[in-house]
Amino acid sequence: MQNWDLLLTDARIATMRAGAPDYGIVAGRAAIAISDDRIVWLGDESNLEGRTAAKQRSMNGRWLTPALIDCHTHLVFGGNRAAEFEQRLRGASYEDIAAAGGGILSTVRATREASADELFNAALTRVNALASEGVATIEIKSGYGLDIDTEIRMLEVARRLGRESSVDVRTSLLAAHTVPPEFEHNPDGYIDLICDEILPRVVEHDLADAVDAYCESIAFSPAQIEKLFHKASELGLPVKLHADQLSNGGGAELAARFGALSADHLEYTSSTGVAALAASNSVAVLLPGAFLTLAETQSPPIDELRSNGVPIAVATDCNPGTSPICSLRTAMMLACRLWKLTPEECLAGATREAARALGLLHDRGTLEVGKRADIATWDISHPRELTYWVGTPQLADLIPSRQTTRS
């Protein structure tokens, strides 16, 4: 009879399995067995039939869920934009500030000036904040360098965070975040620089797992992004898109045309855009932190996304401009309160659907045999509490147990 590495008993388990009702809850007292960091058995404890493990731990009735996944962050950056937040409170718009050379470009200036260690240390604090509330996988984008050296430095810092912190990091090249000052009058030239130099170098050094872009009037047009996405596809990288955040620029349709992993934001996406996403299997990544911070009033088309069967993920968008929010639990609660997602949709959005949005659903995001044993254990009396409390530490443990900081 097999001897597992670890057996967790007397647990309540919400598997979040696709298609399962009610959080995929395993009835009764449940157990989960782990070998080589994979889930090898899971079910009602009474079906264990005497099988044992090298180590056994009672969960004393605690709730277990898949560890959380933040599938959209910009958490490596220099400086901060608290002063712009004050300007916006006094009435300036995000676009006005960007047009005056602030916005993303002010973070670009601060990021270019920061050393790799400075970027790493500041970002590690944010990674640890997310980990402390149960996050085990984080996507991190570049996009505040907008030149070859700084874009690469950002991605190297993100990779280092994956090696030296407790979380697994997936990286996205977002060189097409906005037009850098050097190319103010030649955005097409900048797209060429990304296609001909930045992207090939990033691929050569295996620094990115995907390519992202910002499709917006203050950033890049669909035609410019198409060129970049063709190059990404040629080099074998999946794509994703900041789509229709401030206006309907056909972003969802563009993402769908390229079979994007995800289309993110979507406040201004039309019915045609939703239908295109549904046909493409792209995930809709909703970012309520940016909606709240920008005092946006146009909500993403939640009902249409739902009725068209588009998978919905929820993420922090942690960034210094539009979402200075380093709490996935807060983003989940906001998605409920602002857009009436159900608590179950939000938990699925921060586990299963977030894994899908990163192309990792085969490997994590639900508690199922064969998947990584990325498990969060909670002091709660029902998983719905995970999209209810904010700022209340309820994480008992992340399994396998992880040090918060390894360096």
Which residues are near ligand DI6 by CB under 6 A?
74, 103-104, 107, 177, 214, 242, 245, 290, 317, 319-322
Whole-angstrom Cα distance, residue 169 to residue 392? 25
Residue with smaller CB distance to ligand DI6, 321 or 343: 321
**What's the min distance (Å) between Cβ of 89 and Fe ion?**
21
Residue with smaller CB distance to ligand DI6, 84 or 168: 84
If contact means CB under 5 to 8 A according to the sort of partner, which of Fe ion, ligand DI6, none does residue 214 touch?
ligand DI6
Q: Which amino acid is at 278?
A: A
If contact means CB under 5 to 8 A according to the sort of partner, which of ligand DI6, Fe ion, none does residue 78 touch?
none
Residue with smaller CB distance to ligand DI6, 35 or 330: 330
Whole-angstrom Cα distance, residue 330 to residue 188? 38
Whole-angstrom Cα distance, residue 318 to residue 112? 19
Whole-angstrom Cα distance, residue 225 to residue 133? 35
If contact means CB under 5 to 8 A according to the sort of partner, which of ligand DI6, Fe ion, none does residue 245 touch?
ligand DI6
**What's the min distance (Å) between Cβ of 89 and ligand DI6?**
16
Task: Give me 119's structure tokens.
Answer: 């970027």
Whole-angstrom Cα distance, residue 146 to residue 236? 22
Contacts of 125 (CB under 8 A, 6+ apart): none
Whole-angstrom Cα distance, residue 331 to residue 336? 9
Question: Which three-class secondary structure state does DSSP give residue 25?
Answer: strand
**What's the min distance (Å) between Cβ of 285 and ligand DI6?**
11
Whole-angstrom Cα distance, residue 312 to residue 378? 24
Residue with smaller CB distance to ligand DI6, 203 or 287: 287
Residue with smaller CB distance to ligand DI6, 53 or 290: 290
Cα atoms in the Cβ-side hemisphere of radius 13 Å centred on 256: 19
Q: Which stretch binds Fe ion (CB under 5 A): 25-33, 275-283, 310-318, 396-404?
A: 310-318
If contact means CB under 5 to 8 A according to the sort of partner, which of ligand DI6, Fe ion, none does residue 107 touch?
ligand DI6
What is the distance of C-alpha 356 from the center of its chain?
A: 10
Tell me how crowded residue 108 is: count the other CB atoms within 10 A of its CB: 23
Residue closest to ligand DI6 when measured from CB atoms: 321
Judge whether 137 and 130 are in contact, CB under 8 Å.
no
What is the distance of C-alpha 95 from the center of its chain?
A: 24
**What's the min distance (Å) between Cβ of 148 and ligand DI6?**
20
**What's the min distance (Å) between Cβ of 322 and Fe ion?**
7
**What's the min distance (Å) between Cβ of 319 and ligand DI6?**
4
If contact means CB under 5 to 8 A according to the sort of partner, which of ligand DI6, Fe ion, none does residue 300 touch?
none
**What's the min distance (Å) between Cβ of 247 and ligand DI6?**
12
If contact means CB under 5 to 8 A according to the sort of partner, which of ligand DI6, Fe ion, none does residue 24 touch?
none
Among 209, 212, 244, 317, binds Fe ion (CB under 5 A): 317
| Residue corresponding to tokens 């994979």 | 38
What is the distance of C-alpha 25 from the center of its chain?
A: 24
What does the angle CA 390 – CA 396 – CA 400 come to, to the nearest 5 degrees? 120
Residue with smaller CB distance to ligand DI6, 265 or 372: 265
Residue with smaller CB distance to Fe ion, 139 or 374: 139
Q: Quick one: CA torsion of 317, 320, 326, 332, rounded to 10 degrees?
A: -40
Task: Give me 191's structure tokens.
Answer: 């797209």
Q: Which stretch binds Fe ion (CB under 5 A): 21-29, 78-86, 185-193, 309-317?
A: 309-317
**What's the min distance (Å) between Cβ of 294 and ligand DI6?**
8
Residue with smaller CB distance to Fe ion, 301 or 321: 321
Interaction of residue 139 with Fe ion, rule CB under 5 A: no
Phi/psi at 135 (5° precision): -85, 130
Task: Give me 329's structure tokens.
Answer: 């639990």
**What's the min distance (Å) between Cβ of 321 and ligand DI6?**
2
Residue with smaller CB distance to ligand DI6, 17 or 242: 242
Residue with smaller CB distance to Fe ion, 24 or 102: 102
Whole-angstrom Cα distance, residue 142 to residue 236? 19
**What's the min distance (Å) between Cβ of 376 and Fe ion?**
24
Q: Please report, as ranges, the residues that interact with Fe ion according to CB under 5 A.
A: 317
